[in-house]
Amino acid sequence: MRSLISLPALLTTALILTACGDEDKKAEQKDPAPEKTVEQAAKTPAPTPAPKEEPAATAESDGKNLDMTPAEALENMQRDAGKVADKAEELAGKATDAAKSAAASLSNAISGGDATKGETVFKKCKACHTAEQGGKNKVGPNLFGVVGRKAGTVADFKYSKGMQALDLTWDTGLIATYVENPTTFLRDQTGDAKAKSKMTFKLKDEQDRKDVAAYLATFK
């Protein structure tokens, strides 16, 4: 009889213990940390990286070292001086071009010479010039072919420094302007206040100047 009573008690105890074990397992499995699916992970924005700090600019970063040796400083000064000289040369070239343009405009403005009357006017010039082909140089150069000839280029004639520096080609307008006051003409055209022409004769009358220039243009 004692054995029969003990068996049910044992069974009841075993069931109670089993139930307790199941409850413990349920407690362990309750509210597990949710795992992110692949889709959820893809939708989650990646953290923004902190901006990369750029190194502070220094004199060395652009190739300029302020701590130059005397030799390097001298080299820089010479380079800068060269740039200034180049700029001055460029400006001088522009000034020369402007002077040539002004001379051309002056030449185009002067017209209306009479070659027949100019032959008479040229008699005043014969003491110093010849005008025939092959004519000799006198106090002044031979004037055959002077219209269309570069100034200061007659062979075997010793020109003044001012005439040698004159960079233009003679036409009737320039000749008419030159004979009015040769020295003033050279100074205006060359920019040299000390320039001087060997020709001291001045032809004052404007129409005479046009006529003699027209006459010289016939010698080609």
Q: Are 187 and 162 in contact (CB under 8 A)?
A: yes
Reference 195, options 149, 172, 164, 219; nearest CA is: 164
pLDDT in tens, the chain (220 residues): 444 445 555 555 555 555 555 555 554 555 454 555 545 544 555 566 655 655 554 444 445 556 778 888 888 888 888 899 888 888 887 876 676 555 554 544 455 899 999 999 999 999 999 999 999 999 999 999 999 999 999 999 999 999 999 999 999 999 999 999 999 999 999 999 999 999 999 999 999 999 999 999 999 9
The first and second tokens of residue 183, run together, are 């020295």
Domain holding 152, by residue range, is 115-216
Reference 195, options 162, 166, 167; nearest CA is: 162
Quickly list H helices, 110-205.
Answer: 115-121, 161-164, 172-178, 182-190
- CATH number of the structural domain spanning residue 181: 1.10.760.10
Residue 199 domain-assigned (yes or no): yes
Reference 135, options 156, 162, 163, 166; nearest CA is: 156
What gap in Å lies between CA 161 and CA 133, rounded to an integer? 26
What gap in Å lies between CA 203 and CA 211, rounded to an integer? 11
CA 37 to chain centre: 66
- Domains of the chain: total: 1
Q: What's the pTM?
A: 0.53
Residue 166 domain-assigned (yes or no): yes
Residue 148 domain-assigned (yes or no): yes
Residue 25 domain-assigned (yes or no): no
Residue 35 domain-assigned (yes or no): no
Return phi, psi of residue 171, to 5°.
-135, 180
